[in-house]
Amino acid sequence: MADEVRAPLAGIVQAVLVEPGTAVAADAELVVVATPAAEHLVYAPRAGTVLAVRVQERDTVAAGDLLLLIE
């Protein structure tokens, strides 16, 4: 079953560091979300393979928006 990785806060996607099919370790850096005050890294909740990426650079996200899926 795939795990959903969601935005921890509202901001703009500054970088997507993975693509579908990428194998990731637990705590690997996945996405950078920028706010007016800082940049925030979003980390993998577990080891697995990126199934789908639902955002791209410069997308605006709200807290809780789906960023990607890891299986």
3-class secondary structure, 37: coil
Q: Residue 47 in contact with residue 25, Cβ under 8 Å?
A: yes
**pLDDT tens profile 30-60:** 999 999 999 999 999 999 999 999 999 999 9
Is this prediction's pTM over 0.85?
yes
